[in-house]
Amino acid sequence: MPDQITIRGARLHNLKNITLTIPKNRLVVLTGVSGSGKSTLGFDLLYKEGQRQYLEALGLIAFDLAKPPVDSIRGLSPTICVDQHLTNRSPRSTVGTVTDVYTYLRVLYARLGYRQCPSCGGQVPPPYDPLVDRWEPIPDFDGDTDVAEQYYPCPQCGALVAALDMANFSFNKPAGACPTCTGLGRIQQVDTKQLVDEQKSIAGGAVICWNAFLIDYHTACLKAAAAHYGFVFDPFVSIKEYSPQQKDLLFYGVQSPLFQRHFPRTNPPSTVRKGRFEGIATNLLRRYSERILDMEYREKMEGYLITQTCPDCAGMRLRSESRNVLLHGKNIVTLSRLSLDDLSAWLDMLSTGLKPDEKQVAFPILNELNERLQHLMMVGAGYLILDRSTPSLSAGEAQRLRLAALLGSGLTGVLYVLDEPTMGTHQ
């Protein structure tokens, strides 16, 4: 194999018939004034052409990767790009999830975590002993969902306790996420003053986003809903004069707990024509959640929302049964609020305090965790908190997490193209 990359006659953007050779297995810096063609050479030629040639070698056609205007490029390897762009802006994504450190912690807690028995309050150890099967899990099949749930008896009182697995420690899965905030740790409440002018009536344009057609359409639904529950809805009365039932109907709709508390024994209307009104605040929250990954739409709608810490999980994201599982006195939420440096120190302490049978289970998990943490600390990311949201990371921090993942890769012979890798880093 050639020990260098040879480019002949590159004529792309600011590159004017450039010919050069780049040594392999070396750290090569492309430097120059702005507009000199650094990015064109690094990304448009080396990175994209490396991708195209690799896919072509596999017999695949890369329709979005055209051959660049160059006489020839020889000696390229498969390429990987490490740029400054955040690839995951989901509010559910954290430093722990993108680095898989939190994933391995979930395995650790599912295998070794202790919790209280809901019947007697005694400590219930994990259901699996690597040396002896202490308890045989009991499958319980739900006839509606066909999902098997595992149970095992409490060693103190014999009451059946549901087994917890990795999913129960994930705030991105229904099994583990707090049902109130769906694993976000916070709830969005609508600022109703942004939606209506309470000095006006519905017919007079009180709802800011309703045009004449929507006023007529929703007024008919609101009247039908009020008739269904036995009260009157007058579209010509200003909203400031509404009763609690009328306000809850307008803002939260017939299916919300806030409205149903007024009529606990009455089933909601079955159709919109009969009065199945969604509520203007409920409608806004639904549309916001459906497009939560659309950053532009999210920023537009956040002006109508008030963010508060979830009252049920206190911002911890997980269900109470998952938060109550302890490993050497700490739950998984406490660990996720440590920096990567501090977590590494705690894991070292944990490994020395485990019982012999626990070590047998924990050894491969701890090895993977420590290896990942070492790579993260090696690139200077040890100060990052595990549950820090990835959209809040700077470009340099996001790039360092990507570098740490590459350091842990077993691939060789790869060409890495990095975009200003020291951006946002200290010495």
Q: What is the pTM of this model?
A: 0.73
Grouped pLDDT means (10 residues each) for the chain, 427 residues? 89 92 93 90 92 89 85 92 71 90 94 90 74 42 47 88 90 92 88 92 94 95 96 94 96 94 94 95 89 81 88 93 93 96 95 88 92 92 93 85 83 87 65
Closest CA to 274 of 226, 233, 242, 322: 226
Closest CA to 366 of 350, 353, 355: 350
The beta-strand segments (E) located in 234-337 are: 305-309
Torsions phi, psi for 123 (to 5 deg): -75, 125
Closest CA to 126 of 326, 360, 286: 326
The reply to whether CATH 1.10.8.280 applies to domain 189-308 is: yes
Q: Is 328 left (phi over 0), alpha (psi -120 to 50) or beta?
A: left
Tell me how far apart the 2 most distant CA atoms of the chain are, in Å: 85
Closest CA to 401 of 385, 295, 333, 292: 385
The beta-strand segments (E) located in 341-387 are: none
> At 257, is the secondary structure helix, strand, or coil?
helix
Give the model's pLDDT for residue 64. Answer: 80
Give the model's pLDDT for residue 126. Answer: 83
According to DSSP, the residues that pair with 149 across neighbouring strands are 140
Question: For the chain, which residues make up each domain, given as ranges?
Answer: 4-77, 189-308
